A and B are shown apart, each in its own frame.
Chain A
Amino acid sequence: MTLLEKLHTDVRFLEGLNACINCGTCTAICPAAAVFDYDPRLIAETLQSNDEVELEMLLKSDTIWYCGECMSCKTRCPRNNAPGLLIQALRYLSQTAGLFVESEKGRQQLAVKRTVGTWILENGYCLYAENMTMDMHPEQGPVWEWLLNHAPESFNRMGANYKGDGAGPLRAIAPEALAELQAIFDVTGGTQFYETIEAYSAQKALSMNMQFDQTTDCEYFKHVYTANERNHSRK
């Protein structure tokens, strides 16, 4: 199956692209276009051309990773297109085809997978306080540092049930609920998708001559988490 054929099976592609009239309304409203060299109008135009080579170039590029998926484009499009939905379909395809590792922004998917992706299955939350360390999140400021240093008391003062049994904010998610989440990932291809991201990242680390292991301390993880060539803004 060609990349185009695969793209055309994604319901987000089917929902996201009707006949685009190239008016540029999406670009005018797009937050990503304000800070990056990014133009959602061109995404729609490229996909509308049905060109396999152009599509492959897009999947290897930084371009598809600039969008913040706020979906402001969906609101304003006069033809009910949604470049944000197209981006979701493109990113999925870029990862399953192993093309995401060809761009700086694409390679960051390993960092996403090993943070929020992993926390989902380990904790049952996309974010979990103890994982939001000051080292990884210095912008959090002294009040967050105080909250972390005094957990669980600081959180429980605010009504949390920090790592406790039963209901409540920040409760420990029961093992049987975590097991069901894992089973859902296994059955639906979610686990395989994680493994795909890991496998292509390991290959790329090897070609970049970077140390790679399963932790967030390895050279490749730190590189993709922090590297910024600073060539992403509009000239």
Chain B
Amino acid sequence: MIAEGKRHIWKDYQKEIADNNYYYARSCVRQNFFPASEQTFLRVMKHELGKEVFDDPLHTTCTGIAYHADVVNLPTIMTVVARQFALMTRQGLSNFVPSCITSFGIYTEILETWEHFPETLEQTRDFLYKATKREFKIPDNLAHSSDVIFKFKEQIAARAMFKLVNHISGKPLRGVEHIGCHYAKMFPHKGVGGAEYPYVLAGMIEAWGGEVIDYPERRHCCGFGFRQYVVQANRGYSLAHSQKKFESMEPYSPDFIVTNCPGCPFFLDRWQYVISETEGKTYGPDGHGIPVLTFEELTGLVLGYDPWELGLQAHQVAVEPLLDKMGITYDLSRKFVGRDGNKLGTPDKPTHLKVYGYGR
């Protein structure tokens, strides 16, 4: 399909995204693997865009991974979600912004279920009150944090220190956008651009000067599969699907992959390491992998934030080749240090994958 046709389809799937006053619900996976990304989101929202975002210590996991790995039942997760909404209500807020795509899918699914089966909403209110004495209002607006950055992508472009452009050749950098399955596959109208041609990340790449790669397995799952990763015996499932995507995107020579789900960048990063260790295969030039970024990390780079404050040292696949292309300078001696600048040693070097600032 020609690009103009795709743009037409994207226009059919627009969603309302609140302008200000958000309740932010953190993600289990993003906090563990990309904690700096959540802090970057808050920094951009508060300090670049001047928005109000409430960061609540009292909210917990939504239990979404356990729900989709089938050890948490539907009434339980509905009531946990209701507690998150009660915490939002208590703050006088009504715009709910989850960091996690699994959570975003959970919230969307539960809101739909409450609408289709009103008795489940009443039961949830009863359960929540019995367990916590809390009450809640349904959010006026539910948007994933990537939706919010998408909404303000032009304002971010106006403040950009760096563009997604090769600073030597002047050519746009070529990005793979990977959308978490639960962003729009269950409810296409809840995602910017729908499920077949989601525009939430493509829009960011284009606004910041880059070029989006279209490749055969663009919409394929990263392979998380919930129980298929959690249980060691099943992990080949997860690896096989990431590999399928790498093989499909490799001929298009991507400069980076960007994701909106917190799990996908973790798998797309770590499985490149595993494939390099087991097969000696790397998907970038000269022994490099393809750098994998969260959308917050990409936003931070465009805005000129320090790569190590963005947490890029936590990636197994080196991000430095992308920084070099963008013309971003960095200090490798500060890559593996603590918050006070104290040296913490370095990780061991992988066998094949080219990395920077490592020890043995």
Contact = CB atoms under 8 A, between A and B. Distances in A.
Interface string B302-342: 00000011010111100000000000000000001111001
A234 interface: no
A125 B61 contact: yes
B295 interface: no
Interface in B199-233: 219-221, 223-228, 230-233
A157 interface: yes
Interface string A164-186: 01111111011011101101111
Interface residues of A, number: 89
Interface stretch (B68-76, B145-153, B163-171): B68-76
Contacts, number: 271
B127 A187 contact: yes
Interface string B58-86: 11110111101111111110111001000
Contacts of A112: 66, 69-71, 227, 230-231
Contacts of B32: 125, 127-129, 132, 170
Interface residues of B, number: 100
Contacts of A10: 74
Interface stretch (B88-96, B128-136, B252-260): B128-136
B107 interface: no
A50 interface: no
Interface in A114-137: 115-117, 120, 124-129, 132, 136
B8 interface: no
B305 to A, nearest CB: 11
Interface in B221-252: 221, 223-228, 230-237, 239-241, 244
A142 B348 contact: yes
9 contacts: A14-B117, A35-B241, A68-B224, A95-B70, A112-B231, A142-B350, A143-B313, A146-B336, A146-B346
Interface of B: 26, 28-32, 34-36, 38-40, 55-61, 63-66, 68-76, 78-80, 83, 105, 113, 116-117, 120, 127-128, 130-132, 134, 181-182, 184-186, 188, 195-196, 219-221, 223-228, 230-237, 239-241, 244, 270-271, 273-274, 308-309, 311, 313-316, 336-339, 342, 344-350, 358
